[in-house]
Structure 1
Amino acid sequence: MGRTPTGAAVLQAEVTQAITEAVLRELADQGYGRLSMEAVAKRAGVGKSALYRRWRSKQEMVTAVVAEFSVPRADLEDTGSLRGDLRVTMRAVLDWLTHPLFSRILPDLVAEGARNPEMADSTRTSIGGPRRDLAEVMLRRAIDRGELPADLDVEMALDVLAAPIYWRLLVRQAPAGPDYLDRLVEYALRGLGARAT
């Protein structure tokens, strides 16, 4: 039986959590361009060396922290039906995009990606790619269950699932009313050519 971590091991996890929170808060308050390792360290109550032991650069730190925040929110259980999976997935996307900190971070990261191709590639590889991979698993399950056509254009379908929520919340800055997700799920089912099972 393993020993319960104490001392330095517990402190290490607490330090990492403090740094993670500091990165997200600095990103929300200052944006990527004005974020500094010094400010993150100060907010976390650690020395800069604690950051550099974990990441080699600001970009690596931001990408890792945002990925750690974002990717698990797309890893959802199989509900047994495409309709159920879509509802849970779209709810998770809505919650992700309306999170009090992240709703202020994402627009800045998108803008930074337009100016900084290396940052865009890092974000796409560490966050967008893994989130899409998880959504693809959901679509493949639906194909296997016979709910979606075998020749579904999965790449296009993945765009169709998240784009309306992103567009409504971040671009139009319009509210998502109480029945928005239910209506969106029904629309997506029709658009994907879902079959009644």
Structure 2
Amino acid sequence: MRTTLELGQEIGYAKLSIEAVAARAGAGKHTIYRRWPSKGALLLDSLLSLHKSSLDYPDTGDIFADLRTQIHAAVDLLGNPPFGPLYRALVSEAQHDPQLAAALNERFISPQAAMTVARLETARDQGQLSPDFDLSLAMAILSGPLYFQFLITQEPVTHEYVDRVLRALFTGMGK
């Protein structure tokens, strides 16, 4: 997996191949194919090995500060190599590979969304948010602008931009 990340960073996802990874890692390509059916699946596991628990939510009792801390960590991860450029390529590949799309959703996107919704639910239960605060809509409002800027416009997603999104969310859906 380390070789996949190194090679992906050096030559880009388009030129990355299981054969090239095998050659550099000193492994047989059949050995790699037994575990990963495609370079997308290999890259997904490689990227997931990088982030581990770095995107867990703190719970300080201040939902705004906790979201801000977690999303800033995500932005820092996405904004830097090797994760950012390779994650962007992986999301692109997932548009053409239904198995990869399902795996990405199941193993990364859905768990992150579930953690966000759980943290919002805790804040709502603690009275930090209105009882009718729409948790799934809040998740969509938080992630939509960030993914739009990261994937579509490819502008840097800065901490300042995150703060603007959070202020807009809490102004529109707050207590």
- TM-score class, shorter: 0.7 to 0.9
Partner of 1:30 in structure 2?
Answer: 12
Looking at structure 2, the residues matched to 35 and 63 of structure 1 have their Cα atoms a distance apart, in angstroms, of 13
**Which of residues 109, 121, 136 in structure 2 aligns to 1:128?**
109
RMSD of aligned alpha carbons: 2.5
Provide TM-score, normalisation by structure 1: 0.74
Partner of 2:59 in structure 1?
Answer: 78
Looking at structure 2, the residues matched to 150 and 71 of structure 1 have their Cα atoms a distance apart, in angstroms, of 32
Looking at structure 2, the residues matched to 104 and 179 of structure 1 have their Cα atoms a distance apart, in angstroms, of 21
Looking at structure 2, the residues matched to 129 and 170 of structure 1 have their Cα atoms a distance apart, in angstroms, of 18
**Which of residues 130, 134, 144 in structure 2 aligns to 1:149?**
130
Q: Secondary structure at the match of 1:80?
A: coil
Deviation at 1:45, TM superposition (A): 4.2
Looking at structure 2, the residues matched to 56 and 173 of structure 1 have their Cα atoms a distance apart, in angstroms, of 29
Partner of 1:194 in structure 2?
Answer: 174
Change (3 A) 1:127 1:147: same
Q: Which amino acid aligns with 1:75?
A: D
Q: Secondary structure at the match of 1:174?
A: coil
Pair member with larger Rg: 1
Provide TM-score, normalisation by structure 2: 0.82
Partner of 1:109 in structure 2?
Answer: 90
**Deviation sequence 1:150-177 (CA, Å, 0-9, x none):** 3332222111112222222332233455
Residues 41-80 of structure 1 aligned to structure 2 (within 5 Å)? 41-48=22-29, 51=32, 55-58=35-38, 59-70=40-51, 72-80=53-61
Deviation at 1:118, TM superposition (A): 1.7
Deviation at 1:117, TM superposition (A): 1.5
Unaligned runs of 5+ in 1: 1-19
